[in-house]
Amino acid sequence: MNAQTSSAASSTAGAFLARFEGLREHLPGGRLPWLAKLRAEAAAFFAAAGLPNRRIEAWRYTDLAPIAQAGFSEALTLAAEAPALPPMRAPYRAVFVDGRFAENLSVMPEAYPCGSLAAGLDGTESRLGALAEDLPLVALNTMLFEDGLLLDLPAGAEGGVIEMLSVASHASRPIAFHPRHLIRLGDGASLTLIETSLGPAEATYLHNPVFEIAVGAGATLSHVRIQREGRAGFQLSTVHAAVQAGGTYDNFTLNAGARLVRNEIHASLLGPKAACHMNGAQLAGDGQHADTTTFLDHAAPDCASRQTYKTVLAGKSRGVFQGKILVRQAAQRTDGYQMNQALLLSEEAEIDAKPQLEIYADDVKCSHGATVGALDEAQLFYLRARGIPAEQARAMLVQAFLVEAVEGVTDPIAQAALAEATEGWWEREAA
């Protein structure tokens, strides 16, 4: 990091801190002593740590200089006119515009608590802040969040399918928003959450969401994330899922937008026979940077985890995959698998892969791997020989490459949303 970039990063961190000082009593929950203390502690940590930089090992491959240079120094996050919303796919939809719950655009279930976090902060003292605050972007979120999704599914309940839509507005200046989402599934409950983030093509904005997810014993959460931010936007997301005995957290993330995106997932398997599946795909074109970083903590015996990530890079783009599996001494009979594969469609594309295993138990079955390659010329020739145009043939091979990562998504609504998000990607990048 050069002196100019370092100065910009310090200025940006200072602007966020100044905003917090100016708004701290006006932020949601400003009169709740426990929340005021939580925010102040997060601000103190962020003041000391600042924005992450490449000297930090976990950020070695992702440079936040473009965010520092954008200068998100607005006094308030103002919800301006939002882009037109896509048609509803699921029975229920929670809409957030610039990080704030839009009740007039949402259709919420009545069978269980689900709605605005800002309106329900009083009952969240024991839940908010469970994710370690030694992560600078989580600290930034904690000190500045204005709203988010608060979902509490009772034990044994079938929550069905909920669509969550996060939309950036057509703001006239760079804006930043930091929604905090608290999701809890009681023992034996089940839910499918399809989350999509969208934004205007040319707008400069920062979307910094944090998810705190608690999956009860025997419960199942299927969490499908579709990131389609505007090409000039930034998304830095952190997800933490704590899974109890016999529970399952199933995450699929598609990164297909934004100038720079970091998808960071922390999952903890806390009880016997808990399971976690973290799969995903990254599609990055010229000028884009896509980073997926995962940390899977096997803290209990007889747990299983599966990770499959595919990255497709075109033009001058960069992809990152960092995945760590920690197996604690108590986690005997762990079954962990991790694979990431990259397909480079350009000589200027670059991928950084860093799979890791840290094992302290002696009865485990763990493996990881990484591959990097280009399109198979023999397969391309085969398709061309049968009259398929070159660009269509390349698109078919790209889709075939992604199949393994996507096939774990079984909900038909989620499948349709993913198909729409990926359709025509290669043709657009090749144009």
Could you list the mean pLDDT of each consecutive 10-residue stretch along the chain, which spans 431 residues? Answer: 59 85 86 91 91 91 90 60 81 94 93 93 85 82 95 96 92 88 98 95 92 98 96 96 98 95 97 96 95 97 96 95 96 95 94 94 92 89 88 86 84 89 79 62
The candidate with the shortest Cα–Cα distance to 77, out of 50, 92, 99, is: 99
The candidate with the shortest Cα–Cα distance to 282, out of 330, 212, 227, 345, is: 227
Rounded to an integer, what distance in angstroms lies between the CA atom of residue 354 and that of residue 276?
Answer: 20
Helix (H, G, I), strand (E, B) or coil at 161: strand
Helix (H, G, I), strand (E, B) or coil at 203: coil
37: left (phi over 0), alpha (psi -120 to 50) or beta: alpha
Which residue type is seen at 216? G
- Are 223 and 212 a contacting pair, CB within 8 Å? no
Q: What is the pLDDT of residues 263-315, one digit of tens each?
A: 999 999 999 999 999 999 999 999 999 999 999 999 999 999 999 999 999 99
Q: What is the pLDDT of residue 173?
A: 82
Q: What is the pLDDT of residue 107?
A: 95
Q: Please, where are the H alpha helices in 96-206?
A: 136-144
Bridge-partner residues for 320, per DSSP? Answer: 291, 352
In whole angstroms, what separates CA 195 from the centre of its chain? 10
Rounded to an integer, what distance in angstroms lies between the CA atom of residue 130 and that of residue 37?
Answer: 14
Q: What is the dihedral of CA 157, 163, 164, 169, to 10 degrees?
A: -160
Rounded to an integer, what distance in angstroms lies between the CA atom of residue 131 and that of residue 240?
Answer: 7
Bridge-partner residues for 355, per DSSP? Answer: 323
The DSSP secondary structure of 311-344, one letter per residue, reads: EEE-SS-EEEEEEEEEE-TT-TTEEEEEEEEEEE
The token pair at 215 is 């999956």
The candidate with the shortest Cα–Cα distance to 318, out of 143, 125, 61, 128, is: 61
Q: What is the pLDDT of residues 330-372, one digit of tens each?
A: 999 999 999 999 999 999 999 999 999 999 999 999 998 899 9
Q: What is the pLDDT of residue 299?
A: 97
For the chain, the structural domain boundaries read 3-375
Helix (H, G, I), strand (E, B) or coil at 244: coil
